[in-house]
Amino acid sequence: MTYRILFGESDLVSRWIAAQIKDAPDLTGAVAFGAVREDMLIGGIAFTEHRGTEVRVTIAGYGSWLTRRLLRAGCAYAFEDLGCRRMTAIIKRTNRASRTVCERIGFKLEGTHRQAYEDGGTALSYGMVRDECKWLKGSDRG
């Protein structure tokens, strides 16, 4: 089955992402892309906290939604359009599925934040730097 990338609906996609994540970060004002299959939103990538060289990324989805096409669009936005050198993802330690996805697409574990969540849970920070991103057009790594 094919899907389409939803651009220009950042508020809708951001709210959907936040609803999928327990302990979701504030995605107000995020720039977000969605994956739509059969008129249903099945995944999304949201970018927040842009600080010149860095941007925070939050993802959520179901099934096989995070395709190369969407990864390329997200990485191009962060690294080319925004001009960032790095993306950061914060994931709850107990969320093994999200940690696995981040590691498989190229994020590296960089830090531990003890008692970062309301319930006392630990957050893990992951980073991807432009020089190591295999999803950019012309990259010889992907």
What pLDDT was estimated at residue 142?
Answer: 47
> What is the pTM assigned to this prediction?
0.91
Strands (E) across the chain are located at: 4-6, 31-37, 40-48, 54-61, 86-92, 108-113, 123-129
pLDDT digits (tens, 9 = 90+) for 63-107: 888 888 899 999 999 999 999 999 999 999 999 999 999 999 999
d(CA 87, CA 20): 21
